[in-house]
Amino acid sequence: MSSQIHSRTKPKTPVQPPQGPDGEKKPEEMTPKNKTSRLDSLTANRKPSWTWVAAAAGSIVVAAIVTALLFESFSIVGFVLIAGLLYIVSMYVTSRVLENRLKATDEFWRHLIWTAFIIALVPLISVIWSVVSQGLPTLLANPGLLTTDMKGVVGADDIATQTEGAPLQGGILHGLIGTVAITVLASVISIPVGLFASIYLVEYANRNAFSRAIRFFVDVMTGIPSIVAGLFAFAGLSLLIELVVGTSPQALQSVKTGFAAALALSVLMIPVVVRSTEEMLEVVSDELREASYALGVRKWRTIMKVVLPTAMSGIASGVTLAIARVTGETAPILVTAGYAATTNWNPFSEWMTALPVFIYRQLVNPTAPAAGDPSMARAWAGALVLIVIVMGLNLAARVIAKNFAPKTGK
């Protein structure tokens, strides 16, 4: 990889390696100076191409020695850090000595930027690896996790699992059903509102004050913290129920439902839908609309039959991304939907558990506080399923956007 960078930074250099075949073919008269040979003059102030190999080898050896002396046990992290640091410094110094300050600085920043990229990859790999390595074995050993809920699973079951090796009880079915129910409900609320609002913005509003206000507040909504959206849905519904039903404890209890969670998620979802749809509608070329009008088609028919179908792939991909975003949300559901151990199919009554909330609860309040391992196993398996769902939605959005790209007619 490094040799590739090396060659990329000097793409236009006329310098050939000293032993290069081209070196001999060129006429001798090209040399400006008599005393130094042609190759020397061209390669002067240029470090040899093998410098990075030498620097890398030297850094690795020195880092290994330093790590062995510094830490009691050999630390791979310390070793990598020291080796990387030594490599960057030694490359800078060689460049500074053999070339000049500008090239050395350039080299130095190039290495720092590659380092930043590698640093950014570490957490991604670490997150995915933790979830897969901890979740997959559990899921493979207990496929029943996907088809059972936590009904009747008590601490004693988990203690038996941990100490006597009894099979893992319970599962994530109620979480899956809750997540699907809440997400579908949130989509049913948000997609029409978002679609119509963006149609208004692009097709009807003439950049008037009202549409500017909508654009501004959509931006503001994008920034609403998810937990505040949860509090909003709770506060709104509890006010409503106080006014309609009364302030009895049962009435106040009935605020927490899957519907409240869906309402909270809608607040997060609507701005995403509006933003992406608006962008896609703007892409549709005016010629298409005008051709339709010229045929005597009404505006609303034009929007339904020409504009929307043209932009459909982009809209669908944007909506899928919005769904993916709210599927992984935890905080708003945590404060609005309560927590149930059994499957609840009805989002309009009783508490409902979503998969992210289930993961959180299992990790923070294990079913058996004394034996947390089974709970942790269920949580990691749930996390794996959740990541698969969210990544699957993201991939689906990509595929939709790519394979059914907008037919702009250009």
Partner 1 sequence: MTTTSPRTKTPARNTTSAVGDKVFKGMSWTGGVIILVVLAFVALFLLTRSLPAIAPDTFGPGADQAIDFWGYVWPLMAGTVIVSAIALLLATPVAMGVSLFISHYAPRRFANTIGYVIDLLAAIPSVVYGAWGMLVIAPLMVPIYQWLHDNLGFIPLFAGDPSTTGRTILTSGVVLAVMVLPIMTALCREIFLQVPHLQEEAALGLGATRWEMIKMTVFPFARAGIISSIMLALGRALGETMAVTMVLSPGGFSWSLITSGANATIPSEIALNFPEAFGQRQAELIAAGLMLFVITLIVNVIARAIVNSHAKKAEGLS
Residue 89 in the binding site for partner 1 (CB under 8 A): no
Residue with Cβ nearer partner 1 (19 or 124): 124
The token pair that represents 127 in the structure block: 């997150």
Residue with Cβ nearer partner 1 (5 or 68): 5
Among 64, 160, 193, 396, indicate the residue that binds partner 1 (CB under 8 A).
193
Contacts with partner 1: how many residues (CB under 8 A)? Answer: 113
State how far the Cα of 115 lies from the Cα of 49, in Å rounded to an integer. 21
Residue with Cβ nearer partner 1 (105 or 147): 105
Looking at 209-351, list the stretches that DSSP marks H as alpha helix, in order from N- to C-terminal side.
Answer: 209-222, 226-244, 249-253, 258-283, 286-294, 299-302, 308-327, 331-336
| Cα angle, residue 167 at apex, residues 163 and 169 outer, rounded to 5° | 100
Minimum gap (Å) between residue 68 Cβ and partner 1: 18
Minimum gap (Å) between residue 302 Cβ and partner 1: 8
Per DSSP (E only), the strands in 159-234 are none
Residue that is written with structure tokens 């590739």 in the block: 4
Residue 40 in the binding site for partner 1 (CB under 8 A): no
Minimum gap (Å) between residue 364 Cβ and partner 1: 7
Residue 27 in the binding site for partner 1 (CB under 8 A): no
Minimum gap (Å) between residue 296 Cβ and partner 1: 6
The token pair that represents 38 in the structure block: 């042609």
The token pair that represents 184 in the structure block: 């579908």
Binding to partner 1 in span 133-192, by CB under 8 A: 192
Binding to partner 1 in span 200-229, by CB under 8 A: 200-207, 210-211, 213-214, 216-229
Q: Which amino acid is at 99?
A: E
CA separation (Å) from 368 to 68, 161, 362, 365, 373? Answer: 43, 11, 10, 8, 9
State how far the Cα of 234 lies from the Cα of 227, in Å rounded to an integer. 11
Minimum gap (Å) between residue 131 Cβ and partner 1: 6
Minimum gap (Å) between residue 227 Cβ and partner 1: 5
Binding to partner 1 in span 90-129, by CB under 8 A: 102-103, 105-106, 109-110, 112-117, 119-121, 123-124, 126-127
CB half-sphere exposure, 387, CA atoms < 13 A: 15
Residue with Cβ nearer partner 1 (26 or 248): 248
Residue with Cβ nearer partner 1 (247 or 349): 247
Residue with Cβ nearer partner 1 (43 or 211): 211
Residue with Cβ nearer partner 1 (132 or 160): 132
DSSP string, 228-244: HHHHHHHHHHHHHHHHH
Binding to partner 1 in span 345-404, by CB under 8 A: 356, 359-360, 363-364, 376, 379-380, 383, 386-387, 390-391, 394, 398
Minimum gap (Å) between residue 6 Cβ and partner 1: 12
Residue 74 in the binding site for partner 1 (CB under 8 A): no
> If phi over 0 gives left and psi between -120 and 50 gives alpha, with beta otherwise, what is residue 349?
beta
Binding to partner 1 in span 308-327, by CB under 8 A: 324, 327
Q: Residue 31 burial by CB count (10 A; 0-12/13-18/19+): exposed, middle or buried?
A: middle
State how far the Cα of 379 lies from the Cα of 369, in Å rounded to an integer. 14
Minimum gap (Å) between residue 24 Cβ and partner 1: 30
Binding to partner 1 in span 231-290, by CB under 8 A: 231-232, 234-236, 238-239, 252, 266-267, 270-271, 274, 281-282, 284-286, 289-290
State how far the Cα of 142 lies from the Cα of 40, in Å rounded to an integer. 69
Residue 194 in the binding site for partner 1 (CB under 8 A): yes
Closest C-alpha to 182, from 269, 242, 277: 269
Residue with Cβ nearer partner 1 (31 or 75): 75
Residue 267 burial (CB count, 10 A): 21
